[in-house]
Homo-oligomer: A and B are copies of this chain.
Amino acid sequence: MDLNKLLFDKTKFSLMAGPCSIESEEHFQKTATYVKEAGAQILRGGIYKLRTSKDSFQGLGLEAYELANKVRKNMDMPFVTEITDPRQTSALAEVTDIFQVGSRNMYNYDLLKELSLGDKPVLLKRGFSATVDEWVKAAEYVEANGTAKALLCERGIRSFDNTTRNVLDLASVAYLKQHTHYPVIVDPSHATGRRDLIIPMSLAAVAAGADGLIVETHPTPENAMSDGFQSLNPEEFRELTEKLKGILKLFNRELF
């Protein structure tokens, strides 16, 4: 697959899917299999997890490099995973196709500068309360060297209301598509924090002009080591891709 064509061609739509954290080879392989079958082109999975509490599960770390690499090769799917420290760059570059920078690190300019020196695309999540202007300026750090390209990922902003985990700001997506050159990916899982809102928000993201989605899914969400409450099960994930087909056509985009 031509990853660059997929990410930067406006007639395509990128669907990135997989578990919050990679839990084991079997778990990751199983997930990769059903997400590819359902239509996702890019595999996601956390190796390093940034957790509010030092006592929460922090991801498998180094232990997951080998198995992530094995699964992405087995499946012939590009892989996106989060980088949390500039010192991980060269080793992680061996196993990932896209670097994800999480919301907690959007302002970590030393990390962005390090990534700007490489040539892999950087999926830059919006900070918890970053303005659109700050977010775009962070993307400029990524593209400063002229080799790496930035993808912006809207994942909800913090508000006074806890009905949803965050507030998905789809108007920022429409704004960015009209006023900047960046592809915009929407993360309905972290934005809503509720399994029952992921499908409608995914469809709304397409209507707002998004270029892709990054979605959490797990073979058995109730057993997930992290974020199970916002992960689709395989059946729900297939329902999502079915509904995406319909609306993407209306917006002249294709998933397959």
Write the residues of chain A forming the contact surface with B, with a CB cutoff of 8 angstroms.
50-54, 84-87, 103-105, 107-111, 127-129, 131-134, 137-138, 140-141, 144, 157-164, 167-172, 174-175, 177-178, 191-192, 194, 196-197, 200-201, 203-209, 246-247, 250
Contact = CB atoms under 8 A, between A and B. Distances in A.
Given A129-B160, A203-B208, A207-B207, A137 B174 contact: no
A53 B87 CA distance: 23
A157 B163 contact: no
Nearest to A53: B137
A109 B110 CA distance: 14
A205 B160 CA distance: 22
Contact of A54 (B129, B141, B163, B206): B141
Given A104-B107, A158-B160, A129 B131 contact: no
Contact of A137 (B52, B196, B197): B52
A57 to B, nearest CB: 13
Q: Which 8 A-B pairs have the closest CB atoms?
A: A104-B107, A129-B129, A85-B110, A174-B200, A203-B207, A204-B208, A204-B207, A132-B163
